[in-house]
Chain A
Amino acid sequence: MEGSLNVLAAAIAFGVGAISPALAVGNVAGKAIEGMARQPEMAGKIQTTMFIGMALAEAIALLGFVLAFVLQAA
């Protein structure tokens, strides 16, 4: 019974923790497309910055991913 509670905690930690990074990554991509559509000549630079922004937002989801593993093992 204790083990299954750990699994539930891990699932919640990752599931809830992934909501805000998902919104953030979507926002970054959307704004980047907007920027590229307005100024196609800047597309290369915008794309580079977009990937950096996505990677930084994704880091928060990854912390949840690690936490899920830790909770499952605990």
Chain B
Amino acid sequence: MAPDPAVRARLVEAAYACVARYGMGKTTVEDIGREAGVSRATAYRYFPGGREELLDAAVTHGVAQFFLRLYEQIHDAPSLEQVMERGILFAHRAIVEHEVLRRIMETDPELLLPQLTVEGHQVRASIAAFLLPYLRAHGVAPGVDELEAADFLARMTMSYMTSPGRWDLDDPAQVSELVRTELLAGIVVGPEPSGSDPARP
């Protein structure tokens, strides 16, 4: 029997749902099969790597969903500032409200931490690749390397996402200030900084 893409998709979504419910450590192939309405044997036929391959697929699915929704938020942004502001506001809300992420953070933080930190290079590369076209479209300051700028923005964005520190990322005014100062000041061609000193009494 030829593999059915719909069954595969159902299994991935079932794996994702199980992780949300039981956490990563406790999700079994049986759980996923039951959730998807297929037998354990069928689950293994589609995912010969079993549990690990299913969980990997679930994570990839979650990340893809995230970037898809992110793209919907920012694809029509008129400026690089808007791309960053909308992106950070959305991503912060998405992370805070993300049921599966929250569940994993509660039950298996040790599984998630490396994803965001030492193994974060994949996430970082995805964010950088996502931002690069916007940097190209909007232009960067003379002497700034687009790839380096994209990498720097991706690193900083991940830092604010994992630890907001002193920033309230629910506040659009603060996010706007963050983008203007710590993210884009060296990257975009801004208005010439005034050499004069207007405010001195």
- Whether both chains belong to one complex is answered with no
What is B's interface to A at a CB cutoff of 8 Å? none
